[in-house]
Amino acid sequence: MRNEQEMMDLILTTAREDDRIRAVILNGSRVNPNIKPDRLQDFDIVYVVTDITPFISDPTWIDRFGERMIMQTPDLMGSEAPRSDGGFTYLMQFMDGNRIDLSLIPVDSAKEMEDDSLSILLMDKDDRFKPFPSPSEATYLPAPPTAKAFGDCCNEFWWVSTYVAKSLARADILLAHHMLDVVMHGELIKMLTWNFGIRTDFRQNPGKAGDNLKHVLPAQHWSRLLATFAPAEINPTWEALLNSTELFRDCAREVAAFFNFDYPEEDEGRVSKYLRKVKTNANKTS
């Protein structure tokens, strides 16, 4: 596996030798001072280029970065409208284990790039950019909820929990897990992130998918979160559903108390009663 220095030399030499590439920016985890480096980290690179078309029309130029295991070009996938910045991205996983996520941005759009506090300017042939501030997680910090955002989160969580219960009663295990693992967990992680924010004054990064929550939330909260996941079996999924509702309730009440929000106690009570009733009736007929 090529080491970090070899990869960076290749990335910078490519830019240095190509007059169409006018600036190079490194961002992502390799810039984050709070991330312990490892060999699996991606190289998140931005090339600012004079004309993006040749880089797209003849993709063989990326062969210089190494033998690829698999590649993705997300801007050519799906049916979404083209990017407003005119950019294009090559996601490249190489056979030696390295990965480069390479974004190409036209010079004309460079000043309009979304601010990313985890960025370092590696090359600027035209002195186009002002000096970058020291890398930080500033743009990755959670924001405190509004009363509406809090209410919407609670409503979506409790609403979707009824779908999970009905799916389990019908033995539709795939639908039950989709609603639990995707929708309900999304709202649960959102609430846990606000809880995390309260404990950190909203000055720490909760991490991708909330992976840093374990470093701040009480150990009991973390173990209860892990208990909201279940194998694709009816009874364990019922337990995971009920564990989710109990953890959400406790965390939401803490958030509501901190911000002086109204927590929907009546909604929760009615829905919780409904979930238990569906579970009891399902057990009787099984």
Is the pLDDT at 255 greater than 90? The verdict is yes
Least confident of 73-82, 200-209, 221-230: 73-82
Asked whether the domain spanning 142-285 has the same topology as the one spanning 4-139, the reply is: no
Q: Model confidence over 183-205: pLDDT tens digits?
A: 999 999 999 999 999 999 999 99
pLDDT for 286:
63
pLDDT at position 159 is 98
Architecture of domain 142-285 in this structure: Up-down Bundle (1.20)
pLDDT given for residue 151 in this prediction: 98
pLDDT (0 to 100) of residue 113: 72
How far lies 134's CA from each of 40, 99, 114, 121, 142, in Å? 24, 25, 17, 10, 20
The CA-atom distances, in angstroms, between 222 and each of 24, 107, 196, 272, 274 are 40, 45, 11, 22, 27
Local confidence band at 83 (pLDDT 50, 70, 90 cut-offs): confident
Distance between CA atoms of residues 205 and 250, nearest Å = 22
**Domain residue ranges in the chain:** 4-139, 142-285
Residue 112 scores a pLDDT above 80: no
pTM reported for the whole predicted model: 0.86
CATH class of the domain comprising 4-139: alpha beta
The percent of residues in the chain predicted with pLDDT above 90, rounded, is 82
Tokens of residue 83, six digits: 């990017």
